[in-house]
Amino acid sequence: MADAVYRPADSEYWVPNWSSLPFSGDLFAAIPFVDQPSEVLVDGTGRGKHFLGPIAFGYGLLISPTCDMVDQRTLVASHPYRVFVPVVPLSVVADGAPGTRGNLGLIRSRDTVIPYMYLPPLPGVLDESAACLFRPALISDEDLRDAPRRIAQLGPEGRRQLKIKLIRYWGRLDPEREDVNPREKDEERFTVADGERSPYDIDPTVFPEEVPTWPERASSD
């Protein structure tokens, strides 16, 4: 019997930006999460597993369904609303949510702690992190284009893992991995031509500190 697969290999998560429009699983910098409650909510037991610390502006993972954001016939944005969840270093999550400290091994190896999605390091940008699925924020598409800051995208297996995690968190269901399609319909139509950049992509000459260090053969396949 084959070993159970709980999450993709680290190498199957991040890929360089490749699509003309945002896809679910895209990583953006400087996403505002300033209006969320933090210190007001306190777990009196000291064993809480939800990170309640303040987050002002930080990395955000886009979780809006791709097929809802994009009109599949015209290949243009179908509405301006984008839902993000904050991406927080795993060490910070452990400090701010004592209940997770004993589960760091499970988060890393199996990604089975429901309120979070494990994200491996993105060299040059992120240490190992967790997307806080329980702290969504709404951002306008215009804001994402007026100050373009998409850093990286999830590859197909990373997107499959995101879909599974969202189903587990919001639907409280446990789908079979093979039943979750990692790709969007005709997604190759969104590929940006070589040498061009999507209007959402960060400008590496303006923000060199937000440019990942990619392996030589990194691709979206």
pLDDT digits (tens, 9 = 90+) for 101-120: 778 888 999 999 999 999 99
Q: Is the pLDDT of residue 220 over 60?
A: no
Q: Is the pLDDT of residue 89 over 90?
A: yes
The answer as to whether 15 is a domain residue is no
The answer as to whether 120 is a domain residue is yes
Distance CA 136, CA 195 (A): 33
The answer as to whether 217 is a domain residue is no
Task: Count structural domains, the chain.
Answer: 1
Q: Do 154 and 13 meet the contact criterion of CB atoms below 8 Å apart?
A: yes
The answer as to whether 6 is a domain residue is no
Domain residues for the domain of 111 are 21-36+45-187
Can you give the pTM of this predicted structure?
Answer: 0.86
Distance CA 57, CA 170 (A): 24
Distance CA 156, CA 128 (A): 19
The answer as to whether 11 is a domain residue is no
pLDDT band at 18 (very low <50, low <70, confident <90, very high): very high
Tally of CB atoms within 10 A around 22: 23
> Among 41-50, 77-86, 118-127, 183-192, whose mean pLDDT is lowest?
41-50
Question: Kind and range of the H or E element at 50?
Answer: none
The answer as to whether 89 is a domain residue is yes
The answer as to whether 14 is a domain residue is no
CATH code for the domain in which residue 161 is found: 2.30.30.110
The answer as to whether 200 is a domain residue is no
